[in-house]
Structures are given as structure tokens and as C-alpha cells.
Amino acid sequence: MSNDRVLPLEGVHNFRDYGGYPSSHGGQVVRNVLWRSAQHGDATDADLARIKDLALNTVIDLRGTSEREAKPCRRYPGFAAEVLHHHGETAGLGLHMEAAESALSAAEARAAMMRLYEGIAWRDNLTPILKRYFDVLEQREGASLVHCVAGKDRTGFAVALLQHVLGVHADDILADYELTNLAGNIEGRIAAGASQIRERYGNIDDDTIRVLMGVDPEYIATTFAKIRERHGDIDSYLADWLGVDAGRQDKLRARYLTA
């Protein structure tokens, strides 16, 4: 795929810039400052050299303790970015792994993913690191990276929330979320996920694996619909649940919007 926001790497999947979209507040989201990806445990030396060029100042690792221990991130020599994470679990398993437990078919996998997305906004073990994500973006200068295991569910939700704050149109938020299905080495990412899923749950068929390793705009749209049902609107959820009130949203827009 040809897309100037995607960083083509060998062992780090779904690495891309989630800025650059027009904002309803005027201008657009800054480029080359807000990055997202999957885990870096399989990064090649060439990958690390490309990542070094981004001059990351902060990494927000949404994975829980067990996930970080199972696949420690590789770093380039002289890596000096501050890595922030939650001391404990943030999902128990990545959502795609959790969904795989009850997925005997592609249809069941999709249904399981939908159920998980209906509740992702209020997961007690994810909320603390989402709060920290917004703290970091508000307070720290320079380029940042947010990632989880596959860089699609927890990361996708966090990114969608920030893009909402920055005034990105709902259609662009969904398109950016769905870019997971197109960005980088798709087959390599699916194969890596398949190995992990099958090691834990047995011989799940290829069609089911593809559902588990992909995204569907309906997933994140369902999350936002559930938020509106419970809180009235996304801004009230951000303020009431994550502490990102109107004043903090203004600060984020001042930092990450450009003419």
C-alpha cells in the first residue's frame, strides 16, 4: 500500500502517523509527532534505525505486565525516550486474543470482538493507562508513540479518542482506525498473530484468524454509540471517566493543531 503516513518496517507492524487530518477547530493535526504501532519485540536492526530517525521523546505502552514480559521491546543503541506503562494488566490479553477463546468460526470471532468493544471504554484494567496517555500528551513535549500488542484495539480506541478531542471528523477517525487492515506488511502481521493465537487456543482456521487480526469500523462505531448511551456524548465520557475536561481538551488542541 502507498500511504505517506505508514512507516514500512519489517518486524514492527501497523506503524503509522495518526496526525495530519483536518480539524473542525481549524487547521489540521500536526504530522510526524503522533505515532502508533504494534509491539516492538520483533523489530529488526533496520526497523530500529528507522524508528531512531523519528526522535521519539515518549512511548506509551498500553500492554499489561504479562504482555511486556512475554515480548520485551527491542530498542536502538542510545534509546533515550521515556517509556510509560501501567503496573499491572491492561486487558489480561489483547482483545483479539481474548476474543479467540470463544471463536470457533469467523462469525463467532466477529461477534466476540463486538462484545468486547461494547465494553472497552470502561474496562477497569485499561482506564488507568488511558488516563496516563492523555496526561502524557498534555504535559510532554516532542514526538510520542502509543502501542499495544497488535496496535489495533486498545491503541485504536486511544487514538480515536484523541482524534475526537482534536476535532477530526468521524469519517476520518473511522478511516484511520480501518487503516490497520491496509498498513504495512499485512500478511506478516496476520501470520505473527496466528502463531500466537494457535499456540494458546489450538488450530483455529485462517478465516477466523483474519477476523481476529483485523478491524471493522463497526467495532469502534459501536464503542462510541455505547459511550453516548451511557454518558450522553464523547466529551462527557472523557471528562467524567478519564478526567479530560474542556480545559484539558483546549490544551491538547493548542499543542497538536497547526494552521
CATH number of the domain bearing residue 192: 3.90.190.10
In a domain, 11, yes or no: no
Give SS3 for 174.
helix
Amino acid 126: pLDDT: 92
Q: State how far the Cα of 159 lies from the Cα of 115, in Å rounded to an integer.
A: 20
What cell numbers appear for 9 in the block? 518496517
Helices in 125-201 by DSSP H: which ranges? Answer: 127-139, 154-165, 170-178, 186-201
Other residues' Cβ atoms within 10 Å of the Cβ of residue 205: 12
Rounded Cα distance between 137 and 252, Å, is 7
User: Rounded to 5 degrees, what are φ and ψ at 110?
Assistant: -65, -40
- In a domain, residue 5? The reply is no
Q: How far is CA 37 from CA 13, 152, 208, in A?
A: 6, 8, 23
CA nearest to 203, candidates 98, 58, 103: 103
Cell numbers for 162: 484523541
Can you give the pLDDT at residue 197? Answer: 67
Q: How many domains does the chain have?
A: 1
CA 107, 174, 134, 7 dihedral sign is positive
Q: Which helix (H) or strand (E) is 147 found in, with range?
A: strand 143-147
Instruction: Tell me the mean pLDDT per 10 residues along the chain, length 259.
Output: 81 95 98 97 96 97 92 96 87 55 73 91 93 96 95 96 98 94 72 68 73 87 97 98 98 97
Residue 8: inside a domain: no
How far is it, in rounded angstroms, from Cα 126 to Cα 192? 24
* DSSP code, position 101: T
Residue 197, domain extent: 16-258
Q: Is residue 3 part of a domain?
A: no
Whether 7 is covered by a domain: the verdict is: no
Residue 4 falls inside a structural domain = no
d(CA 150, CA 236): 29
